[in-house]
């Protein structure tokens, strides 16, 4: 009874935090007028974002291998570090968009279709990822490991997809967007 009540409180809090985060990102990317950039450092941010996504990818995969080998403590450390890395990515992404605004993709040919397929699936899946990560972490924190394991089977592949496609988007923009 008490467990159900604290779960409901946590789900409500996660729902509110996710809604605010996602609404803010939609406003930032699609509606806000970009602030004029103040220096070269802003142009370095996409590379930093790609690096943070790569770090999250490595930590997520290590965390998965660790739990499959029964190394619980390393699993916890890896997954918490992956969460921090993804959080830093979101902070850096917000900073970049605050100054730079939307990036136009101007290349033509097959790469255009590849790019937009990756971009659209990346954006669509990043919406449920926010509440999924928070709820997976909450179940682990509440030591409700059967729910943690069940949800982690959905959260983990989506998170891996988002981190890999984040890097791919950076590489395509850098190599094909002339
Ligand atoms: C959002 C971050 C996390 C993700 C994505 C994640 C992912 C996973 C995955 C994929 C599994 C294995 C499921 C399977 O066997 O197929 C798992 C199991 C497990 N995780 Fe996590 N994890 C995260 C954070 C944590 C944290 C912070 C803790 C501890 C406080 C934790 C503790 C455990 C434990 C104990 C198991 C084994 C459960 C069992 O076999 O009954 N995880 N997790």
Query: What pLDDT, in 10s, does the model give residues 2-26?
Result: 778 888 999 999 999 999 999 999 8
Enter the DSSP assignment of 32. S
Please give the Cα distance from 16 to 131 (Å, whole number): 9
Q: List pLDDT tens digits, range 138-157.
A: 999 999 999 999 999 999 99
144 three-state secondary structure: coil
- CA 11, 15, 18, 20: dihedral to nearest 10 degrees? -140
Q: List pLDDT tens digits, range 109-119.
A: 999 999 999 99
User: pLDDT averaged over the chain?
Assistant: 93
Candidates 94, 122, 119, 130; CA nearest to 173 is: 119
pLDDT at 1: 63
Q: For the chain, first and last CA: distance in Å? A: 59
152 lines ligand 1 (CB under 6 A): yes
pLDDT for 178 beyond 80: no
155 lines ligand 1 (CB under 6 A): yes
| C-alpha 78 to ligand 1 mean position (Å) | 10
Mutation probe of ligand 1 site: the residue of 84, 152, 161 with most atoms within 8 A of C-beta: 152
Q: How many helices (H) and strands (E) does the chain have?
A: 5, 0
pLDDT at 97: 86
Query: What is the third-level CATH fold of 2-176?
Result: 1.20.120
More confident site: 177 or 139:
139
| C-alpha 68 to ligand 1 mean position (Å) | 9
């Amino acid at each position: 009874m008490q467990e159900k009540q604290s779960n409901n409180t946590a789900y409500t809090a996660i729902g509110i935090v996710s809604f605010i985060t996602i609404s803010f990102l939609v406003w930032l990317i699609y509606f806000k007028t970009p602030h004029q950039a103040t220096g070269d450092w802003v142009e370095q941010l996409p590379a930093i974002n790609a690096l943070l996504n790569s770090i999250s990818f490595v930590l997520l995969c290590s965390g998965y291998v660790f739990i499959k080998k029964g190394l619980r403590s390393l699993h916890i450390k890896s997954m918490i570090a992956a969460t921090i890395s993804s959080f830093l990515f979101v902070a850096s992404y917000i900073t970049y968009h605050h100054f730079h605004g939307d990036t136009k993709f101007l290349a033509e040919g097959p790469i255009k279709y590849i790019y937009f397929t990756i971009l659209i699936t990346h954006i669509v899946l990043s919406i449920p990822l926010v509440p999924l990560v928070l709820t997976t972490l909450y179940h682990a924190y509440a030591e409700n490991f059967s729910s943690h394991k069940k949800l982690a089977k959905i959260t983990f592949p989506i998170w891996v997809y988002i981190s890999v496609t984040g890097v791919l988007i950076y590489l395509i923009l850098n190599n094909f967007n002339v």
